[in-house]
Amino acid sequence: MWDIYREDIEDWQGARQRARDALKAKKKRIPVWLGGKAAKKEEADPLADIDVGLRAFMELEKRLKDRKEARAHAP
Q: What does the buried/exposed string (b/e) look like for 1-26 if buried means 16 or more CB atoms within 10 Å of the residue's CB?
A: ebbeebeeeeeeeeeeeeeeeeeeee
Q: Given this model, what pLDDT does residue 18 score?
A: 92
3-state DSSP call for residue 45? coil
The whole domain housing 56 covers 2-73
3-state DSSP call for residue 54? helix
Span 59-72, pLDDT tens digits: 888 888 889 888 88
Distance between CA atoms of residues 23 and 60, nearest Å: 36
Helix%, strand%, coil% for the chain, nearest 5: 65, 0, 35
- Tell me the pTM: 0.50
Q: Given this model, what pLDDT does residue 40 score?
A: 56
Q: Given this model, what pLDDT does residue 53 score?
A: 85
Number of domains in the chain: 1
Let me know how many helices (H) and strands (E) the chain has, helices first.
Answer: 2, 0
Q: Which residues of the chain have pLDDT under 50?
A: none
